[in-house]
Chain A
Amino acid sequence: MVTLVKENKPTKIYQRPELICPAGTPASMRTAVEAGADAVYCGFQNATNARNFPGLNFTPDEMQKSITHAHKNGTKVLLAVNTNPPAGKFQLWKDAIDLGAKFAVDAFIVADIGLANYIAINHPNIRLHLSVQAAASTPEALNYYCQQFGVKRVVLPRILTIAEIKDIKQQINCEIETFIFGNHGLMVEGRCSLTNYITGLSTNMDGVCSPANQVNYVQDEQQNLSTQLGDFTIDCFGRNENAGYPTICKGRYHAAPRDEGYYAFEEPLSLNLGNLLPDLMEAGVCALKIEGRQRSRSYVKKVVTSFRTAVDNIMNGNEPDIASLIALTEGHKQTEGAFKSKKWR
């Protein structure tokens, strides 16, 4: 980064970051491409990615056509193969990677070291990105992935301050990607077993956090809404209260030392770093990631357009001028989370 003087005001010139956008369906991918995504990330319709939701994701045929469309429009495609294969089931993950290579994806996003090794050996010319699901957050761990498997970019967990990210950047020799909008889960990514505990299915191996077939919504005559996962009630929203996702980490519980139910882990809210973009770029973050492969085309269009404008504004020496995205946030609340301060709660 260099600082220039523009109209007697010092203007920082940043390296242009890539805007990494979610695509849960071919239509969403085309929407993201049109809205100005530099790259989109997506997955196949199986447990090989961490958004293995019903009706979502890509068949091999859809993936091939969508990649062709994205490339024609100058947009990169990053294939998420970011769950951990259970013992004896590695073939499904290898198949996903080999298909991705055949379709000429621009990078693989993986968390599992076995998969990282498989790509390094069999597809050494395709970029390897370390998923947030790997939960690698120290220079020592990150350098190990880079040295052993040739990882070119790491997606950092959402538990680091910008100062810490800047410090890490100075100690590693690869690109850094961070989330800037969407789900704000504060569990250690790739290590959370809360869903597994309740439902028997694993976020990290089956790709499902709070599987929909075990979610039940019950609204009474007063329009109070109970959210249930398996045999457990996670939350109950009053008539005028905004709701959140049926995830255990955002549930309201009766637990000591409080007398009333409260959000013991985290509230239903979303991450929004719109106002911190210049700080992230200054810290050396080269890729800005929007969460939400499970969200609609409408969400993709609004969020990608908003951040496209913001990044372009910054690159032109102006304020980010981020559009309000509060209507799209979980519980209609947003946070800058640990990026701003570890005392955000």
Chain B
Amino acid sequence: MSSQRLERLPAILLKPVPLFILRPIAQQVTTRIAQKHPHLFARLGKHTKTKYLIKPTNIPLVALLIPDENKPTMQIFKATQIPKYDAVIEGKFLFLLSMLDGVHDGDALFFNRALSIGGDTEAVVCLRNALDDVEGSVASDIADVFGVVGRSVLSFLRQKEA
């Protein structure tokens, strides 16, 4: 598979899935990760109420994350309907995923312009450091929510990325 087609793959896979199905799944993923890694919130400090916009550049969707310790939320929006946010993290879906996986270094992605950030820089740095202290794979946690299909897709993406 060419790298261009690989980049388009997440958008192709998500295209037929309507928002009303994606939204509860995204929320389930967030709740699951929060339950599995509760120590993550201590590192976020004052930023547990911050609204983080996660913007994969090759997917027509964005996610709004509020890592509230008591009720973390992740809402999905169309990329044409950006909600209000405090901080934004932008990059190709696979790069964002590989950062969660601990495969890519966020600073290195920033240096080569594969990752851009905006808004509250301190909030972004805090989230990056908190997620980096999560061992294992957050990407696998996300894939687990989708069962066998999720794990297969993640495995495929990792192989292609390697």
Contacts and interface: CB of A to CB of B under 8 A. Distances in A.
B2 interface: no
Contacts of A30: 135
A328 B125 contact: no
| Most chain B CB inside 10 Å of its own CB: which residue of A54, A223, A302 | A54
Interface string B28-69: 000000000000001111010000000000000000000000
B121 A216 contact: yes
Given A55-B127, A213-B122, A242 B108 contact: no
B121 A215 contact: yes
B105 A331 contact: no
B161 interface: no
| Most chain B CB inside 10 Å of its own CB: which residue of A211, A217, A329 | A217
A185 interface: no
Contacts of A193: none
B129 A295 contact: no
Contact of A54 (B42, B107, B110, B126): B126
Given A27-B132, A295-B107, A297-B132, A55 B112 contact: no
A225 B90 CA distance: 13
B20 interface: no
B104 interface: yes
A212 interface: yes
A327 B113 contact: no
Contacts of A331: 111
Nearest to A268: B111
Contact of A332 (B99, B111, B117): B111
A299 B107 contact: yes
A296 B106 contact: yes
Interface string B107-139: 110111100111011101111111011110000
A244 interface: yes
B107 A27 contact: no
A211 B125 CA distance: 10
B111 A330 contact: yes
A25 B126 contact: no
Given A298-B102, A298-B105, A25 B116 contact: no
B153 to A, nearest CB: 22
Given A296-B105, A328-B105, A217 B116 contact: yes
Contact of B121 (A25, A212, A223): A212
Secondary structure call for the B interface: helix
A299 B108 contact: yes
Interface string A242-254: 1111000000000
A191 to B, nearest CB: 25
Contacts of B6: none
B133 A213 contact: no
Contact of A225 (B107, B116, B125, B126): B116
B103 A298 contact: yes
B146 to A, nearest CB: 24
Interface string B80-91: 000000000000
A219 interface: yes
Interface in A196-254: 211-213, 215-219, 223, 225, 237, 239-245
Contact of A53 (B113, B118, B125, B134): B125
Given A55-B127, A296-B105, 18 more contacts: A27-B132, A53-B129, A55-B45, A55-B125, A55-B126, A55-B130, A212-B122, A213-B120, A215-B121, A218-B118, A240-B113, A242-B112, A243-B110, A296-B99, A296-B107, A297-B102, A298-B108, A329-B111
7 contacts: A27-B134, A55-B125, A56-B129, A213-B122, A243-B113, A296-B128, A327-B112
Interface of B: 42-45, 47, 99, 102-108, 110-113, 116-118, 120-122, 124-130, 132-135
